[in-house]
Amino acid sequence: MKLSQTLLFLALGASTLPAQTPASEAPQKKRAPAAEGSAAPQQVVQSNSLVRVNATSQPYSLHLPWQKESPSGRRGLGVVLAGNRVLVTAQMVADATYIELELPDKGQKIPAKVVAVDYEANLALLEATSDKQKTFFAGLKPMAVDVSTRIGDNVDILQTGRVGELIKSELKIGKVLTRHYNVEGSGFLVYEANNIVRSEANSFTLPVVKGGKLVGLLLSYDSKNQVTTILPAPIIEHFLKDVADGSYEGFPSLGMELQATLDEQFREFLGLKPDAPGVLISMIMKGGSAEKAGMKKGDILVAINGFAIDSRGDYRDPQFGALSSSHLVRGRAYVGDKVEIKVIRDGKEVTLNGELTRRKPDDYLVLPYLFDKGPRYVLMGGLLFQELSRPYLDAFGEERRGGAILRLAHVASHPEQYEEEGRKKLVFLSLVLPTPSAQGYDKLGGQVVNKVNGRTIHDLNDLAEAFKSSKDNMHVIELNDFPHVLYLDTFNAERDNMSLLGGAYRIGSLKRLE
């Protein structure tokens, strides 16, 4: 969901590949972590805190979920932290089938694995799996994390040349704001910097440093406007603190939508005085921290943890100035922290208290992302059923979102009705394969499934169970849209199932429910 002047989605957090061109010592947990154009002025030095990271990625197909896409390679620079662990962006290792670390100057390589990953925050922590890691890391020095960066500071983006020499491109931090990294609706802190960044053979992870310390990782680079977006150190520090005790919980969220109160007539309608702070709560996410704290649609949010919220939904951050109130939860707090929220309700100020939680991806009706595993599906007689996800919709692109896909996109943006019905996931008919059982249904696709053989469908597990029985040797499938009811002869459907296994579509299994 995009931010606008009047509607701000605050996943006050929700827990990933680059928008344009992607690229210490781990602190203890709170209780108990390119580009194009000609080169900017730079200097060549040696560094012993960086390693090359090479990964082979092979995601599952979203439209033929029993298959995998063609493998592809990714390369970036990882930052060495304490304990011989390496920090990279999550996009670097998404759907990875193999990961290795490489010394830039010597070319020595060892295999590695992911020990912690957060696709919303776009961060991952790696460690070597080889018994030679002690030798590999012997000449490397952990890099510390510096969270003190402010607007106007000069920072360096690091890249390595062909023989391992370190290349530094200097940038100046021009803005600090919040926006999503790779997962829509998950707003995080970002730095924006300006200058030309030289292109080298590292694209998915590039460290950003100041004074020899890590201040961020490159998220994207707009070569046309020479704008670099940086994942900042405060988010990295939060991630590392959370990882430190071995139990990663992720970034918390309030879970609500806010509507700006800048318009004078709108403020008058809400009963707000001209100079009064506050922003309208236009939606409360089911099961989120806001709902559990007692917040309601129509409340006017005026403060979070003592920070006043203005009519744009911003607060005054002591380090960065005006900043989206989402950072109060996603950047300055942890799962389990207490939160105090002040709202105006029916003209009176009400103080609400709650505990911050995080909605996991599987808690959403529509999966916000899908990495490192295949989509769940069930095949019956040539009819393919899946659970709706954002990646499935995104795979069509904006220009192809017509008809059924447009309807599914609308459902994904307005899931309240289906959540109130008790659905855990949105099961839909995604594809019809050419089988005798499915004759006449070949042009269908995108219809939401309500019932099968009289059983209400809350997720694919319900669907698989419903197909184990039938009435009068017929499977009866009830849909939300035309033609509303489908019929499959059980004998013919099972015959077609057997013909699909190992056939032209290379189907190895008729379902994936894990």
pLDDT digits (tens, 9 = 90+) for 150-197: 999 999 999 988 788 888 999 999 999 999 888 877 789 999 998 888
Both 102 and 204 in one domain: the answer is: yes
| End-of-domain residue from the set 219, 243, 267 | 243
Q: Sort strands 307-308 and 300-304 into parallel, antiparallel or unpaired.
A: antiparallel
Higher pLDDT, 256 or 161: 256
Q: Which of 86-95, 251-260, 267-276 has the lowest mean pLDDT?
A: 267-276
Query: What is the C-alpha separation between 343 and 278, in angstroms, rounded?
Result: 8
Residues 501 and 409 grouped into a single domain: yes
Cα separation of 448 and 404, whole Å? 10
pLDDT of residue 353: 97
489 lies in the same domain as 461: yes
C-beta separation of 304 from 340 below 8 A: yes
What integer pLDDT is reported at residue 8 of this predicted model?
A: 36
Cβ-based neighbours of 146, under 8 Å, separated by 6 or more: 210, 211, 213, 214, 215, 233
Residue 362 lies in a domain: no
- One domain for residues 198 and 335: no
Rounded CA-CA distance 293/346 in Å is 18
What CATH number does residue 449 fall under?
3.20.190.20
CATH code (residue 21): 2.40.10.120
On whether both 42 and 189 belong to a single domain, the answer is yes
- Same-domain check for residues 229 and 294: no
Instruction: Assess if residue 443 is contained within a domain.
Output: yes
Q: Sorting pLDDT into bands at 50, 70 and 90, what band is 42?
A: very low
User: 277: which 2 tokens?
Assistant: 């702070």
320 plus 379 within the same structural domain: no
Q: What is the pLDDT of residue 27?
A: 43
**Mean pLDDT to the nearest integer, 192-205:** 77
pLDDT on residue 426? 96
Examine residue 249 and state whether it is found in any structural domain, yes or no: no
User: Within a 10 A sphere around the Cβ of 110, how many other Cβ atoms?
Assistant: 18
d(CA 86, CA 217): 13
* Cβ atoms 66, 506 nearer than 8 A: yes
In a domain, residue 233? The reply is yes
**Same domain flag for 223 and 268:** no
Number of domains in the chain: 3
Task: Quote the longest CA-to-CA distance of the chain.
Answer: 78
Same domain, yes or no, for 39 and 186?
A: yes
**Quick one: pLDDT band at residue 505, thresholds 50, 70, 90?**
confident
Q: Which of 185, 229, 33, 9 is nearest to 118 (CA)?
A: 33
Both 35 and 78 in a single domain? yes
Q: What share of the chain in percent tops pLDDT 70?
A: 89
pLDDT number for residue 24: 37
Q: Is the CB of residue 243 less than 8 Å from the CB of residue 26?
A: yes
Of residues 414 and 199, which shows the higher confidence score?
414
Please give the residue range of the domain that contains residue 166.
Answer: 12-243
Of the residues 180, 212, 243, the one at which a domain ends: 243
* Residue 360 included in any domain: no
Same domain, residue pair 128 and 26: yes
- Is residue 317 scored above 60 in pLDDT? yes
* Same structural domain, 327 and 380: no
How distant, in Å, are the alpha carbons of 4, 184, 203, 237, 406 from that of 399? 21, 18, 28, 39, 10
Asked if residue 361 belongs to a domain, the reply is no
CATH number at residue 273: 2.30.42.10
Per-residue model confidence (pLDDT) at position 157 = 93
2 within domain boundaries: no
Contact 295, 339 (CB under 8 A): no
pLDDT band at 305 (very low <50, low <70, confident <90, very high): very high
Average pLDDT, the chain: 88
What's the pTM value of the predicted model, to 2 decimals? 0.87
Q: Measure the CA–CA gap between 446 and 244, rounded to whole angstroms.
A: 43
